[in-house]
Chains A and B, each alone.
Chain A
Amino acid sequence: MSVVVAEQLIKTYVAGDIKVEAIRGVDFTIEPASFVSFIGPSGSGKTTLLNMIGCLDPPTAGKLQVVGQDITNLNRQDAARFRGEHIGFVFQDFNLIPVLTVFENVEYPLQMVQNWPTAKRKRRVMEMLEAVGMADQARKYPSQISGGQKQRVAVARALVTNAKLVLADEPTANLDKETANMVIDLMKKMRDEFKTSFVFSTHDPRIVDNVEITFALDDGTLHRLETSAGGAHV
């Protein structure tokens, strides 16, 4: 079963009398355990597409299935519940909760969203922190760790719920080259270990070089690029 199936997906924004078609009837599928990127210039619609897949923004028309469920018409409450159960997020600015420790940040989705029992939850959080190499930093607060470490914690938080899909919006934009490569390697390792699909919206060629499928967005239309060992090309 495909993780994401989009059919004739359209997103139109209306501001007064002006209508802007951000996404113009795109079709694509994303398979389990895949590494996929959406690339394109600013304003091409890649973040809009990612927001729709992430149940943050409903499509104007078309059909969108994520992990086998039609999410086209979910209400606000159900969309939040769906995100909490099935989707992980990695943000450009890491977006860790500053008043929580590294451990508590990773624990947050299990505790506040999924209500896991304490012992099982703590075990799972430690497993994830060990998987991303942050177990020794568990008691530190986000302000006490580096950018690369923050993003590793964010990856752990995205995966801790056994999410089938992780959406990452420019995850390496605020990292130096070496750290960015480490984070990409980590995400690949996580994909292999947990069979989770990673979908990126990015400008970063280092990510594009590492993904198996790249979709290029241009003015709201989508083209799948052929990929080779060295990356994607048209």
Chain B
Amino acid sequence: MFNIFKLATRNLFRYKRRTLLTSTLITLGVVSVLLFISISGSFKALMVGQITDSMLGHIQIHKKGYLASIDSLPLNRNLTRKQIDKVVQVLAEEDAVEAYSMRIKLGAMFSNFIETTNIRLNAVTPADEMKTAPLLTDRILEGEKENLLKAGEILIPELISKGMKVKVGDGIVLVANNKDGSVNGQNFMVRGILEGISGPGGRDGMIHINDARSLLRIEAAEVSEIAIRLKDIDQLPAVFTSLQEKLGSMKNKQGMPVFEVHTWEKISPFFNIAKMIDLMTFFIKIMLVAIVLVSIMNVMVMAVYERINEIGTIAAIGTLPNKILGLFVVEGFLMGVLGTAAGTAISLISIAIMNATQIRFDFGRQTGLLLSPTIGATDVILVVVIVIAIAVIASLQPAWKAAKMDPITALKHV
């Protein structure tokens, strides 16, 4: 086998320019794919992290039917005390759950005593919310970040801050309808300005859950949603399945389901963008396969054609057909290895440079997002294996032709 590799290597060096061109083409393909995977993966991870860690959590539990009418923030579809206790009991059995936060979601009128506008609010227990959405405090553009907020304080979205000219420390009034239709108002002090981000809830304000209860005159311990954070997002499918089995299957006296359990993917429209990115990555991989297939096959067909006489010679002096086949397959394999090695090296160096230079980008209303491209060993290995396998497959047809060549015809070839 070593001899076949030696001969194949020498033949590749014999046609230096052609080998270089083909390997360069493969290198470019590998670089494109690996950089695309790393950059799109970084973007995806950044957005997913931002959505889950600063807003949604990984999983949310609502009363059945809540999500379908979430636009109107219905207060009559809140989870009751008994239902909350059941959820808490189930969550206590899940080792993968790191934290959870109970929220009341409500709509209100926001007044700075001069103007009034609508505002959507999340009412939370600060300590639980900070554990469930650890990046939430990073979204506080102005104001104190420590402990998130206290009763009587409000975090307002930057759009309202700018539109209503409200600053940190200002007093405002929230007026809200409770579920019976009566109206109540309450004074708040602006604790901070929240950065708006893409996705549901990305432009909501935030108050303490006790304030929401008094504003809405909710006496019982009821909540609109329970947001859950997992220790590891990779456990999402397993935990979701488990919760779905334990909670999704529970029925009320009328035989109707009590809870609905959703992953962030179901709630955030960004999941579709993430799916699109995955699809694009797949098609880019297909393009890479096509590039490798066409270029290697083209080169190997030429290599066989140019060496017909040589093939005749080695066949005549007794080289077995499978060795001739091996010789050409190894040439294709080595070209694949050469292109892939160079492509992988260039890609990894480029990723390191991008991380070192701290490239920032804007996405929607968000500016200055840090691009941190990374690539997993699995992705690199997968691309390397695909390229080398395709290089070998592409060499098979020309190699087969060489192995099956009639020595007499080959020796006559000029």
Residue contact A51 to B310, C-beta cutoff 8 Å: no
Dominant SS at the B interface?
helix
A95 in the interface (beta carbon within 8 A): yes
Stretch at the interface among B78-86, B210-218, B316-324: B316-324
Q: Is the CB of A112 within 8 A of B3?
A: yes
**B111 on interface, CB distance cutoff 8 Å:** no
User: In the complex, are the beta carbons of A109 and B317 less than 8 A apart?
Assistant: yes
Residues from chain B with a CB closer than 8 A to the CB of A112 are: 3-4, 7, 314, 319, 323
Query: At the interface, yes or no: B408 with Cβ under 8 Å from chain A?
Result: yes
Check if A80 is an interface residue, CB within 8 A of chain B. yes
Residues on B with beta carbons closer than 8 Å to the beta carbon of A93: 309
For the complex formed, measure the closest distance between the CB of B98 and the CB atoms of chain A, giving whole angstroms.
62
Given A91-B313, A99-B11, A112-B3, CB of A83 within 8 Å of CB of B318: yes
Asked whether any CB of chain B lies closer than 8 Å to the CB of A89, the reply is yes
In the complex, chain A residues whose CB is within 8 Å of the CB of B4: 112
Judge if A173 is at the interface, Cβ distance under 8 Å: no
Contacts of A100 in B (CB 8 A): 7, 10
What chain B residues lie within 8 Å of A82 (beta carbons)? 318
* Residues B318 and A84 in contact, CB atoms below 8 Å apart: yes
Taking a contact as CB atoms under 8 Å apart, the answer to whether A81 and B317 are in contact is: no
Which chain B residues lie closer than 8 Å to A84 at the CB level? 317-320
A interface residue count range (under 10 / 10 to 19 / 20 to 34 / 35 or more): 20 to 34
Q: Give the distance to chain A from B316, nearest Cβ to Cβ, in Å.
A: 5
The answer to the question of A68 belonging to the interface, with a C-beta cut-off of 8 Å to chain B, is no
Contact of B314 among A51, A76, A97 (CB under 8 A): A97
Most chain B C-beta atoms within 10 Å of own C-beta, residue among A82, A85, A97, A100 = A97
**A81 near B318: Cβ-Cβ < 8 Å:** yes
8 Å CB interface, A125-168 against B: 157
A56 in complex: contacting residue of B7, B320, B408, CB < 8 Å: B408
Give bound CA distance, A97 to B3, whole Å.
Answer: 14
Residues of A within 8 A of B316 (CB): 54, 56, 83, 89
Which residues 271-314 of B have a CB within 8 angstroms of A?
309-310, 312-314
Interface residues of B in 319-367 (CB under 8 A from A): 319-321, 323
What is the bound-complex CA distance between A113 and B316, given in angstroms?
A: 11
* The 8 A-B residue pairs with the shortest CB-CB distance in the complex, in nearest-first order: A84-B318, A99-B10, A95-B313, A113-B318, A83-B318, A99-B14, A56-B407, A56-B408
5 extra A-B contacts, CB within 8 A, seeds A97-B7, A99-B10, A99-B13: A56-B408, A89-B316, A97-B310, A112-B3, A112-B7
